[in-house]
Amino acid sequence: MNRLERIRRILDEALSPTVLEVFDDSHLHAGHSGAREGGETHYRLEIVSAAFADKSRVARERMIHGLLADEFSNGLHALSIKARGPEQQS
């Protein structure tokens, strides 16, 4: 299972999102800090979950970073996050 699949599985199981989009943007960061041969270092995430209801942006991002702590410890360098509660879904 690659990192993108692991991220999806972890977030899906923990947050039961109604929207979950994960994009591997590693190719856009080749040569930058944290980039490595083979990619799997830079991701972009869009997620909508009831678990985020009434939570601040910082609290939502902390939840996600906590869930993905093992990934960050093992080569995930950067994660761009757009996390919303159902009331914020456009």
Domain that holds residue 19: 3-88
Spatial neighbors of 2 by CB under 8 A, at least 6 apart, are 40
Tally of domains within the chain = 1
Q: Report yes or no: 40 and 2 within 8 Å, Cβ to Cβ.
A: yes
Cα separation, 16 vs 38, in Å, equals 30
Amino acid 26: pLDDT: 85
Mean of per-residue pLDDT scores for the chain:
89
**Strands across the sheet with 78-84, in order?**
19-24, 42-48, 78-84
The tokens describing 30, both together, are 């080749």
Q: What is the mean pLDDT of residues 11-28?
A: 93
Q: What is the mean pLDDT of residues 2-20?
A: 97
Tell me the per-residue pLDDT of 24-55, one tens digit each, with 9 for 90 and over: 988 664 556 655 665 688 899 999 999 999 99
- Can you give the CATH number for the domain in which 39 is found? 3.30.300.90
The tokens describing 32, both together, are 């930058």
pTM: 0.85
Cα separation, 71 vs 3, in Å, equals 8
Share of the chain above pLDDT 90, in %: 70
